């Protein structure tokens, strides 16, 4: 099984962990994230990475505030860029 490191900054990681539904979908990987200063690395399998980006997209679509929607859309773009960098097509485009 292939695994991928995604790299987020502290703000992006905070968006991820502040949303329970998103954080729970890949709970073990999120909990085991390597945090070094402002950089956070999370090791995910391809299926977990796709599940994570799908959860972010779903939560953005159902956000109760414009601010939360914008934050989640921003995180979705970051994760989508990570997928592309791994040569994986985003399943939610």
Q: What is the mean pLDDT of residues 65-69?
A: 95
Query: What is residue 30's predicted lDDT score, i.e. its pLDDT?
Result: 85
Inform me whether the pLDDT recorded for 2 exceeds 80.
yes
Inform me whether the pLDDT recorded for 92 exceeds 80.
no
pLDDT tens-place string over residues 14-54: 999 888 888 888 888 888 899 999 999 999 998 889 889 99
Query: What is residue 86's predicted lDDT score, i.e. its pLDDT?
Result: 87
String of b and e for 50-77 (b: at least 16 CB within 10 Å)?
bbbbbbbbbbbeebeeeebeebbeebbe
């Amino acid at each position: 099984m292939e695994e991928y490191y995604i790299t987020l900054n502290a703000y992006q990681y905070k968006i991820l962990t502040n949303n329970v539904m998103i954080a729970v979908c890949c709970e073990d990987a999120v909990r085991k994230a390597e945090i070094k200063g402002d950089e956070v690395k999370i090791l995910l399998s391809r299926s977990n990475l796709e599940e994570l980006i799908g959860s972010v997209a779903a939560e953005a679509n159902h956000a109760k505030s414009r601010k939360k929607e914008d934050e989640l859309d921003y995180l979705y773009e970051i994760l989508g860029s990570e997928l592309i960098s791994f040569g994986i097509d985003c399943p939610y485009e």
